[in-house]
Structure formats: structure tokens, C-alpha cells
Amino acid sequence: MSPDMIFTNAHVVTPDEVFDGTVVVRDDQIVEVSRGRSNVGGAIDLDGDYLLPGLVELHTDNMEKHFSPRPGVAWPSIPAVMAHDTQIGAAGITTVFDSLALGDVRGNSDRVRDRERMVEAVIAVGRSGMTRAEHRLHLRCEISADDAVEAVDRWIDLPLVGLISINDHTPGQRQFVDPAQQRLYYTKKFAMTDAEFEAFTAKSLALHRKNAASHRREIVERAQARALPLASHDDATTAHVQEAVADGMTIAEFPTTREAAEASRAGGLSVLVGAPNLVLGRSHSGNIAASELLIDGTADILSSDYVPTSLMEAVFKLALGGSGISLPAAVRLASRNPALAVALQDRGEIAADRRADLVRVRTVDGAPVVRTVWREGERVV
């Protein structure tokens, strides 16, 4: 048995309070949490920094950019995952669900072409113990894609798969409440002309009519048969939420309207919102601001989405920015709540018998600086 690690002189953030305390770790578990400082020789003095649980990320597509850092560039797979993992670990995230796009409304895009390489690389680095964070897979199922069900069948039984989400990015369906914002997004991000956008929309709608209903039904059945957590995505209306509830979904990712967010909460779904939305103070898509849903208690989970560091930034922005949300409550949004939403009861909080996933954070002029990260008792950052 390895000797205990004792962290002391820390502002320990538990699910309910912050106090000057001490945390004892034995092997990969937290074994004691107490108030006050330890005088035991060899105790690690954290100089009054915050000690948080490792953050849990359910939805990030950050890995994609490392596989295709520029148009036409296919970066080597293992270095791509490791570059992504470096950002994840340095952000204080110790458990990450890497989003794998099973289909793309734009067709055979880089994210579709790279998905096999992504899966193989995530499995390889996990087996070899190379990563800072624990990596799992979140299958994002684009239900209009012709091969959506085929792709699900290929990967759903991998042990790393821990979450399935139903996505429909067909123009006019869910993602954008404002059609003008949708046109602007596609024409700017993908350099489409207005004519190309109209052709893209017509093709997408045809695929939606052909595939969406049957693919949704088949994918939901497969997830339910394996007792995998299911998430809806970009719900905009009460009808969307009612469909999600009927399908047994338990997470509502990025509802685009207050109507959908409130209906999701009323239907028993955990509402997930984007940390970049909170940090920026608005949705880049013109949808409801995450801050509105967080401050009034409608949202349950924060996700870094496409900027790993935004998760810790959002936690401290909520806690120190006059939102009325305490630091323990803000931390729960990025640790215990997401962990429980995907049935990971062994992590996400500083408490005895939980995994020793810990993050040392110092604030400088109100900004959180991640100084050290431990995963299962081992220092990784």
C-alpha cells in the first residue's frame, strides 16, 4: 500500500460548502475530509488555494480540431488525441466524454472521415495509460445521415461508450431559433454562397424526410436495450421535449429556448448548457443565454463544448460574478451533476470513498488558474 497523501491548508470545496481543511488520499480514493490544518509531516501545503473535485465533461467536440487542424490536413491519430488530452487535463477535467459525430448534416465532412481514426486512437491511448484524463465516448447520432444506424451498430458495444445523443441539425429543425442566424452561420463558417446554402437546405430536408423518424426510433431502441444514458440535443419546443421524454431520455443538451429548457426540467431531464455561452454572455447561435437558465435554477450541468478551459472559467464566473450562485453550487454543475447524469457515482465530489480526482485552483484577479491536477490519486498536471 502506498503512503497516504495529505492535502492541507486548502479551501476545500465540497458539494455544500467551502472550508479551510484537509483531504487525505490513499491509493486512488479519498479516505478522509476534515476541517482545519494537518500537522503531519509530509502533508502537502496548498497555500490556501481551492481544492475542487475533478471536473466531468459530457459533451466536447474539441478533439476534432486536432485531427484536422487545417482543411485537408489529417494529423497523426495518437498525437492528435494527446494534444486534446493535454488541453482537457490542464482545464481540470479528469473525466471526459469525447463526442464522436456519427453523421454530419454537411455530408462527408472531416469529422465523419476522421471518426474511425478517433475511436481507434482513444482506445489505444486508454489501454496504454497515456492520458491525463479518463476518456469515454459519447456517440452523437445525426439521425438524417444515411449511415447513422450502421455507424451506431459498429461502435455502440465498445466498453468506452457511455452516452448516446440524438442530433438533428437539419436547417429549420432545432439548432437555430432565428433562420437569419442559421444562414449567417453556414455562409460564414463554411464559406457558402446564398445559392449553395439554399441547395444545402433542400438536400438536408430531403434526407430528414427520408431518414429521421426511422433512424431515431432504431437508435433509441439500441441504446435502451443496453441501458445507455440517452440525451436529446438542441430541443426548441415542448413537442421536442415530449418526444425526448417518451424516448426515455434523461439529459437535455443545449435547449435553444426557455420553453424547451423548462419543459425538460419539468419532464425530469437534466438540462445541460454551454460554458462558452456563459463566458461570452450569449449564444453564438442567437439562442437563449445559458446565464438565464443557470441563475434561475433551470440548468443542471455545464459543458465546455468546444473550449475546454471554459468549464472552469464558467464555474468561477458564476461563483464570483454576482450571480447569487455559490461556489459549491457552481462546482456541482461541472462535477457531481454530470457524473450522476451518466451513473458515475464514484466521482465528482470531495468526500470519503470517492475517487481521488482533485484540482488545485488559485484565483488571480478573479480568474481561475489550474495549478495541479490529480486523477485517481496520481498527479497528471
The string of pLDDT tens digits covering residues 10-27 is 999 999 999 999 999 999
- Single-letter code of the amino acid located at 82: M
Summarize pLDDT for 299-309 with one digit per residue, the tens.
Answer: 999 999 999 99
Buried (b) or exposed (e) across 206-243, using 16+ Cβ within 10 A?
A: ebbeebbeebbebbbebbeeeebbbbbbbbbebebbeb
Q: Within the chain, what is the greatest distance between any pair of CA atoms?
A: 71
Mean pLDDT lowest among 107-121, 130-144, 308-322: 107-121
Q: What's the mean pLDDT in 74-85?
A: 97
Higher pLDDT: 186 or 43? It is 43
Q: By CB neighbour count within 10 A (0-12 exposed, 13-18 middle, 19+ buried), where does 363 fall? A: middle
Q: How far apart, in Å, are the Cα atoms of 313 and each of 57, 114, 118, 261?
A: 14, 30, 27, 23
Mean pLDDT lowest among 20-34, 161-175, 261-275: 161-175
Task: Provide the 3-class DSSP secondary structure of residue 244.
Answer: helix
**What was the pLDDT predicted at 194?**
80
Structural contact between residues 304 and 310, judged by C-beta atoms closer than 8 angstroms: yes
To the question of domain 54-343 being in CATH 3.20.20.140, the answer is yes
Kindly list the domain boundaries of the chain, sorted by start residue: 54-343
pLDDT band, residue 80 (cuts 50/70/90): very high
Inform me whether the pLDDT recorded for 146 exceeds 50.
yes
Inform me whether the pLDDT recorded for 1 exceeds 50.
no
Summarize pLDDT for 198-255 with one digit per residue, the tens.
Answer: 787 888 888 889 999 999 999 999 999 999 999 999 999 999 999 999 999 999 999 9
Inform me whether the pLDDT recorded for 173 exceeds 90.
no
Mean pLDDT lowest among 34-43, 153-162, 276-285, 288-297: 276-285
Q: How far apart are alpha carbons 192 and 225 in whole angstroms? A: 41
Q: What percent of the chain has pLDDT over 90?
A: 82
Confirm whether pTM is higher than 0.85.
Answer: yes
Location of C-alpha cell 432545432: 174
Q: What's the mean pLDDT in 332-336?
A: 98
Higher pLDDT: 320 or 105? It is 320
What value does the mean pLDDT of the chain take?
Answer: 93
Radius of gyration of the chain (CA): 21
Structural contact between residues 103 and 112, judged by C-beta atoms closer than 8 angstroms: yes
Beta strands at 18-26 and 5-13: parallel, antiparallel or unpaired = antiparallel
Higher pLDDT: 337 or 178? It is 337
Q: How far apart, in Å, are the Cα atoms of 48 and each of 30, 175, 316?
A: 19, 43, 16
